[in-house]
Amino acid sequence: MRTGDLDRGAPAGLPAAVPSGRTLVMGVLNVTPDSFSDGGAYLDPRRAVEHGIAMVDRGADLVDVGGESTRPGATPVDPDEEIRRVEPVIRDLAAHGVLVSVDTLHSATAQAALDAGARIVNDVSAGVHDPRILDVAARADAVVVLQHRRGEAGTMTELTAYDDLVPDVVAELAQRREAALAAGVPAARIVLDPGLGFAKTAAQSWEVLARLEELAALGHPLLVGTSRKRFLARAVADGADRSGDATDRDAVTAATTALLAARGVWAVRVHDVRPSADAVAVAAELAPYDRDRPR
């Protein structure tokens, strides 16, 4: 592992108060009934806002608000319902000074979220599901996260056959980057996400995670989401002290955060903020010494 080998800087257009020089921690705020690890916990807008602010207090630099589960097999949500879920939460969080990202596939939801104060559009389909989302982001001068995915929530698990895994992922994301540029999104506002667990087996997710430098070669900051994902279970031993739910993967999530922060990714997307914020802090403390070490 080479310290900083994934560092492509930060996207343009974010508030000056956003920390620089270290990996950011994006807290996940699901205002959904069916997300894989915390569905239903924050459906009430007041409770959702309280949780978002609490994540910032625990070390989150920004909060990603989603009103539709994107897990494999999830039921699609009408944009009107999605807006009803996310708009009041985003508006209140932004009013409290929280940097907010909206996790959505839909242009209408992205527009409502940006109008409410969101600054980032995080689309797991990279504009494939609703191409107009790229136009919305461009007009608003928003940062856009383009994630790799094949198919929809109901089909992605059947689309894991690649000719050459990592080059294929890179090529497919490069195509989506070109679509964003064509829509008017400046290159400096594009962030790429490898989409771990999306149209990828567990082994494929680990391989993509190990070879992120090939994605970073496209020249954009990277957002990486490992948090509580099923592929992490390969690294975790069974034990009587484990509850068997997705929170069992919080420690291994923090371990991946430490490695990713040492390598210089722009941000990690996590459910349990404090352990990953601590992991980022450790990586930041070690970085000067590692850079000075003879190779």
How far separated are the first and last CA of the chain, in Å rounded? 11
Distance of CA 181 to the CA centre of its chain: 20
> Which of 269, 274, 291, 293 is the catalytic position?
269
Residue (of 234, 241, 243) closest to 255 by Cα position: 234
* Assigned token pair, 286: 């070690």
Let me know if 200 is a catalytic residue. no
Closest of 143, 161, 285, 164 to residue 223, by C-alpha: 143
Query: Per the residue annotation, which of 150, 229, 249, 263 is the catalytic one?
Result: 229
Q: Which residues of 10-49 are buried (b: 16+ CB within 10 A; e: fewer)?
A: bbeebeeeeeeebbbbbbbbbbbeebbbbbebbeebeebb
CB 190 within 8 A of CB 174: no
Placement of tokens 């930041």 in the chain: 284
What letter would DSSP give residue 58? Answer: T
Which residues, at least 6 apart from 4, have a Cβ–Cβ distance to it below 8 Å?
263, 264, 287, 291
d(CA 70, CA 63): 17
The alpha carbon of 59 is separated from its chain's Cα centroid by a whole number of angstroms, namely 16
Tell me the three state secondary structure of residue 86: helix
**Distance (Å, whole) CA 225 – CA 213:** 16
Q: Let me know how long the chain is.
A: 295
**Spatial separation of the C-alpha atoms in residues 230 and 78, rounded to whole Å:** 27
DSSP structural state of residue 74: P
Q: Is residue 211 flagged as an active site residue?
A: no
Which helix (H) or strand (E) element contains residue 226?
none
Q: Which residues are catalytic?
A: 229, 269
